[in-house]
Amino acid sequence: MAQGVAGANARQAILSGQPIDRVLTRRRSPRRDRRRGVPALAGLSALGLGAIARNTASGIATFAAVMFVIPPLITILPSSIANSITPYLPSNAGDALMQIGHHANTLSPEAALAVFAGYVAVVIAVAAGLLIARDV
C-alpha cells in the first residue's frame, strides 16, 4: 500500500506542470489506496508460506491451495456453515477489498483488510519463529 502511495506521489512530482497534472491531483478514494495493498499482502503471505515450507515449490503450492482450492471446497459444506466460513477465507477477504459496494456474505472493506492482514501477520510470525528455531 505504501508503495502505491509513493508511486502516486512520485508521478505527481515528475508530471507537475503538465496538463495531466489535474487528473493526478483529484481527490482519491481510500478504497483505491486499499486495493493497492492487496497484491503486496498476498505476496507477503506467499513469502511466509515459502519460509515455513523451506521449499519454493511447496510454498507456491500451499499458497495456490489456500487461495484457489479451499474456497470452492467450502461450498461442499452445508450452506449454513459455508456462509459463515466463506467471508473469512483469505481469498474472499481480498476480494471484499476489491469490490465496489457491499455484497451479501462478504465483509466490509475495513473488516476484510483486518482479516487479510491478520492472516498475513500470523503466517509471517510463524515463519519468523520457525526461521529462528531452525536456522539460527
Q: What is the pLDDT of residues 5-37, one digit of tens each?
A: 677 777 666 766 655 544 444 555 555 666 677
- Cell numbers 455484497: residue: 103
The one-letter amino acid code at 100 reads I
* pLDDT single digits (tens) 66-115: 999 999 999 899 998 998 899 899 988 888 887 777 777 788 888 888 99
**133 contacts 127 by C-beta, under 8 angstroms:** no
Per the confidence metrics, is the pTM higher than 0.75?
no
pLDDT in the model for residue 24: 43
**45 contacts 119 by C-beta, under 8 angstroms:** yes
CB proximity list for 9: less than 8 A, separation 6 or greater: none
pLDDT in the model for residue 35: 67
Summarize the confidence of residues 58-65 as an average pLDDT: 91
41, pLDDT greater than 80: yes
Summarize the confidence of residues 41-49 as an average pLDDT: 91
Domain ranges of the chain: 30-135
